[in-house]
Amino acid sequence: MALLANSWRKLMSAVWTDTVNNGEESATPPDLLRLPPEIIMSIAGMLPAQSSACLAICCRQLSQILGPKSWKSLRRAPHDDRFDFLSTLAKDLPQHFPCRNCLRIHHISEIKWPRGMEISYPGNAPCTSGGLRTSYSHLYRSLYEIHYPQIQLAMKQHRYGIDTGFPLEAFQYLEVWQGEDSPWKVILSSANAQIVSDEFLMRFQIWA
């Protein structure tokens, strides 16, 4: 058990890059790969499914040692665990984000700004037709609708910087329509977003 604990610490601290020097792989493997395959498999067996799958794709040697077992465990894992796995992969892909609904990684260009959703997405917005409710509309007659992937991209830009998601200006919206009870009645609706204490907040205002 002490050996496994020591190997676990090595696993968490080792950084393996499958680089090529002068056409050949590095002659000095990390400490983890110097362990017997049985020990590596024991370490992987102690990890959560998403962490074991990440370990299996670190390099060819680990993939060969661990085989398909990690992937089979990940397929049987709960939805949140599989989403955590995609989130880990997406950290190295600034122009992509993990989708909680379809459990895939999308390019940010696939998601449009909230403005004019009825034009941008004639049917259902990408990854919003599943069983989960991922959209919100503040008024029944309003054409303005926010989808969860858009909020994901706003938070991504807030946390990681420019050109990696949506700016808050993307959520600004102004809408005007006639009242139902009187043709002379005009209703004005506005929306804007802000992030406070790392939380995404929307503000809706209505003037009648």
**What is the reported pLDDT for 179?**
67
The segment with the largest mean pLDDT, out of 27-36, 117-126, 186-195, is 186-195
pLDDT tens-digit profile of 93-108?
888 888 888 888 888 8
pLDDT tens-digit profile of 179-207?
667 667 788 888 999 999 999 999 988 88
Give 18-22 contacts, CB < 8 A, sequence gap 24+.
18/58, 18/59, 18/60
Give the start-to-end residue ranges of the domains of the chain.
2-77, 110-207
**Averaged pLDDT, 67-77:** 88
- Give yes or no for residue 20 having a pLDDT over 90: no
- Give yes or no for residue 152 having a pLDDT over 80: yes
Q: How far apart are CA 66 and CA 46, in angstroms?
A: 13
19-23, 24-28, 145-149, 174-178: the lowest-pLDDT one: 19-23
Q: How far apart are CA 56 and CA 103, in angstroms?
A: 19
Question: What SS3 class is residue 174?
Answer: strand
Alpha carbon of 129 to those of 88, 126, 135: distances in Å? 25, 7, 10
